[in-house]
Amino acid sequence: MSLANKNILLGVSGGIAAYKTPDLVRKLTALGANVRVVLTGSATEFVSPLSLQAVSGNPVHQHLLDPSAEAAMGHIELAKWADALLIAPATANIMAKLAHGLADDLLTTLYLATEANVFIAPAMNQQMWKATATQVNLGILTQHGTLFIGPASGEQACGDVGSGRMVEPVDIATTLSQALSSSSEQILAGKHILITAGPTREPLDPVRYISNHSSGKMGFAIADMAIKAGAKVTLIAGPVALPTPEGCKRIDVSTADEMLAACEQASSDSDIFIATAAVADYKAVQVAENKIKKIGDELTLTFVKNPDILATIAMRTDRPFCVGFAAESQDVESYARGKLKNKKLDMIAANDITAPGLGFNSENNALHVIWEDGDKHLPATTKSELAKALLVLIANQYTNTHSVQ
């Protein structure tokens, strides 16, 4: 599922389920959507504009007669911007207004002004949902071409049990994605993508090595999603215990030198290089032929820098579009921007390895993706969903870069 390049205008009306809308915004953005939020006056009693602004990354719109927005006909611009208007939760009151063409606030005005697809996720007491007036309004809105997501059945805030609950955010996002996404849309069709994943192992003797905690899950997720987006994928993997994504050419390596050699060969006809591998910075100057024995209280070993695989590929004249990863424990954005500039990258995806439940060996992650003239925060979600959103950004930036050239 994907909402790549889709502009979703989320209208929030005054139902108690409005408290779930920050999570809904996260689910939508994780699928690649650009989200802007419109709040009715009563919705602010249940959810704060600031929280929705924080998760969407955009100002929250509340007033029809906003002097700063009206100077540019703000409500008309929003109506034209949207690929879909999603109203969640939709109260009985808002459904009645929409059914009869009332436009006394920003949300109801946008409904009349937009040509976008409209989706409604109702949320109300089970008896209010069954009421004749509500069912009549449901019929009118359906005739107008409005699509309904739910409602769901179950226990309600008032203690009643029945139909009227707002569908859960993850299911709303999935339904919207299915409705808006074209199964034939393959944003990376015809592109050859080279991906590195996992750690490297630098031997010290026949028994020991130095390495890191990278599991390779992020790189493998990107490889899987890139194939589904139509790309030809070469995956160069360090020592990991992960199945090969179907349709992917996999090359297994151990050391940084082996990974570099494989990358140099595979990158010659690659369009995009995504370097997710956690390559060891140093290797032993000399690998002992036999197991190093435990003699004395201290052991001194001498190390030398490993080659910088990403920088080596990025500084070639015939290089592919290069995307780096920066796993940092402090000053994450600062270090990432430094790597973007110093290694002459096109994009870099930074993550904080100290965040609980994210990063190395986790099923989830969050990224701050940065390029020369822009950036975007991809909120915490599964690595598969994150891979989808990241590939949308990469495809867009790749297209923009090559159209300029």
User: How many helices (H) and strands (E) would you count in the chain?
Assistant: 14, 19
CB 236 within 8 Å of CB 196? yes
What are the residues whose beta carbons fall under 8 Å from the beta carbon of 289, sequence distance 6 or more? 205, 206
148 token code pair: 């309904």
Rg of the chain over all Cα atoms, to the nearest angstrom: 25
Task: Sort 158 into a burial class: Cβ within 10 Å, 0-12 / 13-18 / 19+.
Answer: exposed
SS3 of residue 117 by DSSP: strand
Which is catalytic among the residues 158, 248, 263, 322?
A: 158
- DSSP-derived letter for residue 45 is G
Examine the residue annotation and report whether 158 is marked as an active-site residue of this protein. Answer: yes
- Please tell me the distance from the alpha carbon of residue 308 to that of residue 31, in angstroms, as a whole number: 32
330 token code pair: 């402090």
- Please tell me the distance from the alpha carbon of residue 20 to that of residue 88, in angstroms, as a whole number: 9
CB 104 within 8 Å of CB 97? yes
- Please tell me the distance from the alpha carbon of residue 218 to that of residue 30, in angstroms, as a whole number: 15
Query: Which amino acid is it at 189?
Result: A
Query: Which amino acid is it at 247?
Result: G
What are the residues whose beta carbons fall under 8 Å from the beta carbon of 364, sequence distance 6 or more? 357, 358, 380, 381, 382, 383, 386
What are the residues whose beta carbons fall under 8 Å from the beta carbon of 347, sequence distance 6 or more? 322, 323, 324, 340, 369, 370, 371, 393, 394, 397
CB 247 within 8 Å of CB 225? no
What torsion do the CA atoms of 290, 296, 297, 301 make, to the nearest 10 degrees?
A: -40
* CA atoms lying within 13 Å on the CB side of residue 141: 29
Enclosing H/E stretch for 395: helix 383-404
- Please tell me the distance from the alpha carbon of residue 34 to that of residue 83, in angstroms, as a whole number: 10
Q: Which residues are the active-site residues? A: 158
